[in-house]
Amino acid sequence: MKLVFKKNDKHEISVLSSDGESTNEFNYIDMIKKLIALKKMQEPEFEGDFSESEKDSVLSMINHINQEVTDFYSDSEETSG
């Protein structure tokens, strides 16, 4: 799953999710379901005029989410084994 961040000429940001075949309006529940199934988010896409600090912030968030998912599943495997 990949998040797509779009910024329009009014500097309004919208977020979509993409699974490679289709792009849909972002939904937290769908994101959680995809994280459970795939255990990782792909690097996001940026469309529009995003500053480097905005991109860094989003990338940091994605990395943090991925690390939390990785930690959760490695802890689960350790306690069940």
Residue 81: pLDDT band with limits 50, 70, 90: low
pTM: 0.82
CA–CA dist 35, 12 (Å, integer): 26
Mode of pairing for the β-strands spanning 13-18 and 23-25? antiparallel
Structure confidence at residue 57 (pLDDT):
97
Give the domain ranges of the chain: 2-80
Tell me the DSSP string of 12-35.
-EEEEEE-SS-EEE--HHHHHHHH
The residue ranking higher by pLDDT, 75 or 69, is 69
Residues 18 and 47: beta-carbon distance below 8 Å? no
pLDDT digits (tens, 9 = 90+) for 9-62: 999 999 999 988 899 999 999 999 999 999 999 999 999 999 999 999 999 999
> CB-based contacts of 26: which residues, under 8 Å, 6+ apart?
3, 14, 15, 16, 17
